[in-house]
Amino acid sequence: MKDFAGRIAVITGGGTGMGRELARQLAAEGCNIALCDVSGGAMAETKRLCEAAGLSQGQRITTHVADVADEPQVVRFRDQVAKDQDTDRIHLLFNNAGIGGGGSFLVNERDEWERTFNICWGGVYLCTRAFMPMLRRADAGHIVNTSSVNGFWAYIAPHIPQTAYAAAKFAVKGFTEALITDLRINAPHIKCSVVMPGHIGTSIVANSRKLQSGNQGDEITAQEIVLTRARIASMGIDESKLSDEDVRKLMVERARRFLEEAPTSAADAAKIILDGVRNEQWRILVGRDAELLDGLVRKTPEQAYETDFFERFAKEAGWAVGGPTPPR
């Protein structure tokens, strides 16, 4: 699929970050876009940005509020796409929605762990199931599943557990690789790609905080501080020595650094992904850090979870010693 003009793309997590930039770049090429996110306000801004750049005659940008971890909402989302886009088929499905959290299987609460896993993996599964009939009706289709470098390296930094996110991203990678053969046999006009970003400048840290706590406002709540204390404790740090204000400042600074100090911007990541789709790459590494890490893990897999390995990689990739969390 070299040309996206006139095609229909479904993008989950389309309110911010890579989802927003994918929408903007696809819209600029004349593609019709169906956005999904839990934040209607964020999607409205994505739509405004797409429209401000100019749309071709008849081009549609539609927005749909849905939690991709909830199957009834995903089915309703699909039906709304068919109605609002006036179609029974789509050409591109970007399973991009994701959050962080549930780093420790032992320390973090089960609800937080499963929320992370069910969005990052369950959303990919449910959306692919729901939209497969519409992809099969198209003359050509492409499924793009966002995994992470955590999909081949279940690590983020020394003393920081990363179980829920890494488990989900491994599942996304394995599912996509298995789909290659399944689609080749049963729906050869549909391709698929697994995207594995390194540290990309997005709002995932701030967004994850809001989703895990149920707080959609900008003010940090007492519940969010409790969740953050649990995360700090999971690293083996005595969080009781920190005041609530200390924790609040750490949260704000962590989100700022992840967004502003990333080696790859969300816009650059979207371009790499779309170029990969055009070239029918089934495996799309995003960022120099992702390419570097992929090579190192393949070369010395037995050393991949040792502190020395991380320090060598972080120095060469330009990651902070504490590491970004999560690397997407």
> Which residue in the list 125, 155, 165, 305 is annotated as catalytic?
165
Which of these, 325, 270, 255, 261, lies nearest to 19 by C-alpha position?
A: 270
Q: Is 165 a catalytic residue?
A: yes
Q: Between helices 110-117 and 163-186, what is the axis angle to 10°?
A: 30
The alpha carbon of 92 is separated from its chain's Cα centroid by a whole number of angstroms, namely 16
Burial 162-174 (b: 16+ CB within 10 A, else e): bbbbbbbbbbbbe
Annotated catalytic residues are 165
